[in-house]
Each structure stands twice: as C-alpha cells, then as structure tokens.
C-alpha cells in the first residue's frame, strides 16, 4: 500500500488508494456495529440483573410470529385461563375473547395481566386499546347520559 502525505491549509492529509480507503471504511463500520452490539448486550445484562424476565426463544418466536401475547405468556407461565382470569378479576370468557382477538382490552387491563404474569407491560401494550375502543357500548351510554344531564341543567 502506498500512502502519500500532503500538507493542506486544513492540516496534513493522507492520500491512499481507493481500495484501501474502502477497506478501512468497512472496518470502521464493523467496529461501530460491534460497539452498538456491545451497548445492547450491556443494557440487556443490566436489565436482567435488575430482575427483567428472560423469555425462552420459543416464546419470543411465537410473539414475533404474531401470536396473541396474552395467550403465549399465559401458557409460558403455565396458567390456565381460569387461573389468570381470577388473578386479574375478569371472566374467563372475556379473557378467551382477548386471546382470540374477538375483543380488545384497555391498557389498564393489560397492566393487570402483565403484573399477574410477571412480564413487562411493553409485551402487551401493542394490543391494548383505549377505554372507549374496548367498550364502545358503555361509552356510548355514558355519552348519552352526560348529554341528558346537560340538557336537564339547561332547562333549569
């Protein structure tokens, strides 16, 4: 490899063959990637040391393939639907509907489920919806009742 040095107004620069420059650039990119990976590994180790749960590859694969996280994590923790529904104070039928996707639950419910299963809420939050989306009939009734109360107050 032939490298020439040249003095410029910005300082001394090295002039090297293009192939060598590309090789060095690739080495630098790999080093940056390795440093990023090292940061991720260090963060993961810190989280595990702080008590974050470790999930088996099979569980992670099922989650990654789009299976319902409530069902996957419930089965991982070896809970029956009845046991989990009692733990979070909901009916088994509602839990079944959540697992099959027939219904969607609010974030507060997913927090209870995550706590009962001993997993981070982040694993369940993506399937949570707002209170209104979770129970539109109840919210429609609530809106109607509020409108009636306001109408009564205006008449007074």
pLDDT band at 8 (very low <50, low <70, confident <90, very high): very high
The strand pairing partners of 144, in sequence order, are none
How many domains is the chain partitioned into structurally? 2
Residue 7 placed within a domain? no
Residue 23 placed within a domain? yes
Domain containing 41: what range? 19-52
Per-residue model confidence (pLDDT) at position 37: 87
Per-residue model confidence (pLDDT) at position 93: 95
Q: What's the mean pLDDT in 27-36? A: 88
Residue 156's Cβ-count burial label (10 Å; 0-12, 13-18, 19+) is exposed
| 61 shares its domain with 128 | yes
Average pLDDT, the chain: 91
| 66 shares its domain with 107 | yes
Residue 131 has pLDDT above 90, yes or no: no
Work out the percent of the chain whose per-residue pLDDT is above 90: 64
Does the pTM surpass 0.85? The reply is no
Residue 61 has pLDDT above 80, yes or no: yes
| 68 shares its domain with 37 | no
| 61 shares its domain with 131 | yes
Residue 99 placed within a domain? yes
């Amino acid at each position: 490899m032939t490298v020439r040095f040249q003095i410029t107004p910005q300082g001394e620069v090295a002039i090297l063959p293009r192939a060598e420059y590309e090789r060095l650039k690739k080495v630098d990119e790999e080093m940056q990637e390795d440093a990023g990976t090292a940061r991720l590994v260090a963060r993961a180790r810190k989280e595990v040391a702080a008590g974050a749960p470790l999930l088996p590859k099979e569980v992670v694969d099922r989650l990654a393939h789009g299976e319902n996280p409530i069902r996957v994590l419930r089965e991982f923790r070896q809970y029956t639907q009845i046991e989990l529904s009692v733990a979070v104070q909901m009916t088994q039928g509602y839990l079944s509907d959540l697992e099959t996707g027939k219904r969607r639950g609010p974030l507060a419910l997913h927090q209870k489920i995550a706590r009962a299963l001993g997993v981070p809420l982040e694993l369940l939050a993506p399937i949570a919806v707002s209170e209104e989306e979770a129970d539109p009939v109840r919210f429609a009734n609530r809106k109607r009742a509020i409108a009636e109360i306001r109408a009564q107050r205006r008449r007074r």
